[in-house]
Amino acid sequence: MSNQTEIRRRRTFAIVSHPDAGKTTLTEKLLLFGGAIHVAGAVKSNKIKKGATSDFMEIERQRGISVATSVMGFEYGGYKVNILDTPGHQDFQEDTFRTLTAVDSVIIVIDAAKGVEPQTEKLMNVCRMRKTPVIIFINKLDRPTQDTFELLDDIERQLQINLNPLSWPINNGPDFKGVYNIFDKSLDLFKPSVQDIEPGISFDDLDSPELEKHIGNDARKLREDLELVYGVYPPFNHEEYLAGNLAPVFFGSALYNFGIQELLDAFVKIAPWPRTVQTEEREVDPEDDKFSGFVFKIHANIDPNHRSRIAFVKVCSGKFVRNNMYKLIRSGKTFRVSSPTAFMASQKEIIEEAFPGDIVGFPDNGSFIIGDTITEGEDIHFKGLPSFSPELFRFVENADPMKTKQLNKGVDQLMDEGVAQLFTSQFNGRRIIGTVGQLQFEVIQYRLEHEYNAKCRFEPMQMYKACWIQSDNPKALTEFKNRKHQKMATDKRGRDVFMADSQFILDMAQSEFKDIRFHFTSEF
């Protein structure tokens, strides 16, 4: 099979949502329809002992939330589908933002009763910035919801994107009868007691009295709704969707497997195959002959029994081949990968080759960092993997002096993952962890104890903002560091960071030191 054929059958996408909208449940059901798993797990359930495939970390199973992006691939209808299930919780949004740089399209899950929530808006902003095509899946139709037209109006307004329904619900909550699939002209009936796959009924002629036989008195309202839909929404424009200007909408209930196959069938047909990616030097076309890719995530202890550490690499061009020589651009060193892996969450298998759109796991002994570019030799640099200035800060202290080595190793590896950011005070050498949410401190503490056999405690620290600083004037930079020496730190890469106590202190420093540039993301 040629590279072009392989590229065009790839569909690499992320599923994103506000917490509890049903994102991980949808992921499980897509895997079920794709034949990748045989029993769908519940994210949190007392009755179902099997956990969600994508939530493979122990803390995820305990909390019932996703705290790290997981990667799953499967074959479906001649397509190779790669799903990246992301954390919904805002405390882990950096992991989600980085993941969005590695996908070609996105499915946004929205709770039909709650509508657009704050985290959904933030994620849509990232998609809009990158012009990433978006499909919207409105979930939980088996529960009471607001009026469908009003819901779509709210979504259009809040997400600032034009919508185009490709399916339409027949009632909701206890009266939910199913959906009419506008995309392939079929009627899909909802049976709440059945979680098996039920084929849709082909239905071209909505005026046919057969419709009443299937949905009774609701047939009249469905006809009226669809007449309004066809009047308000123009026919689906594939080019507008690929340009990121139009979002197709599907309805269903992930919990009951309903509407999932229709979503998947439409998705593989309309979603983009791998697209060109911008580097600092040039655009990289997936059909270029030479391999290139970048590291968008690092995960330590993906298999706790072997203390393994994996760098997740998105293949952007050419073909990756096991045991070929490749170049790590940041260091200039060449290396070969003898055991590259493909993923099904925490399950891995050795692969011989991979194509643009695929996510490959490179075993990592500390050589890689997030954002690294890997090529067959060309010096290019992929862009767009920043770390943001943290909002919460704590001193990290060893709670067990006998386990200092384990603690240091654990902190270093977890920070390389991008779980949080590590700063070392230039004044007293104390280590500071910065996060965007309180829950990250709990995850770090839990993982240090259970994965590294090390215990830590966090001590409070009053800090407003960490700013990376730069200057073309060495004298001004030295003067600034001398004047602010008690508030200076370095990050893991040894770069200078100013730790400002308050907005006032930061404003004063910016006005007094005109030659100093203050950066609020690590990419500058």
What domains lie within the chain, and their CATH numbers?
Answer: 3-270 (3.40.50.300), 277-375 (3.40.50.300), 392-519 (3.30.70.3280)
What is the rounded CA–CA span in Å between residue 327 and residue 159? 40
pLDDT for 277-316, tens place per residue? Answer: 989 999 999 999 999 999 988 876 655 555 577 888 999 9
State pTM to two decimals: 0.78
Those residues whose C-beta lies under 8 Å from the C-beta of residue 388, and which sit 6 or more positions away, are 94, 436, 520, 521, 522
Spell out where 252-346 has E strands.
277-278, 283-284, 292-300, 309-317, 320-321, 325-328, 333-336, 341-344
Q: Please give the full DSSP string across 60-121, using - where no structure is assigned.
A: HHHHTS--S-EEEEEEETTEEEEEEE---SGGGHHHHHHHGGG-SEEEEEEETTTBS-HHHH
What is the rounded CA–CA span in Å between residue 14 and residue 272? 13
pLDDT at 88: 45
What is the rounded CA–CA span in Å between residue 43 and residue 51? 6
What is the rounded CA–CA span in Å between residue 257 and residue 424? 49
- For residues 339, 343, 344, 345, the Cα torsion angle rounded to the nearest 10 degrees is 110
Q: Which of 152, 170, 147 is nearest to 162 (CA)?
A: 152
What is the rounded CA–CA span in Å between residue 64 and residue 277? 35
- Helix 23-33 × helix 260-270 angle, to 10°: 80
334: amino acid identity, one letter: T
pLDDT for 179-208, tens place per residue? Answer: 999 998 888 888 876 555 556 677 667 777
pLDDT at 89: 44
Looking at every residue in the chain, the average pLDDT score rounds to 84
pLDDT for 131-176, tens place per residue? Answer: 999 999 999 999 999 899 999 999 999 999 999 999 999 999 888 9
Q: Which of 113, 102, 95, 84 is nearest to 20 (CA)?
A: 113
pLDDT for 439-458, tens place per residue? Answer: 788 888 988 998 889 999 99
What is the rounded CA–CA span in Å between residue 29 and residue 18? 18
Token readout for 514 is: 């005109």
Average pLDDT (260-265) is 91
On the CB side of 235, CA atoms within 13 Å amount to 0
What is the rounded CA–CA span in Å between residue 86 and residue 95? 7
Spell out where 252-376 has E strands.
277-278, 283-284, 292-300, 309-317, 320-321, 325-328, 333-336, 341-344, 347-350, 353-354, 359-363, 373-375
Partners of residue 314 on adjacent β-strands: 294, 359
- pLDDT top residue among 522 and 321: 321
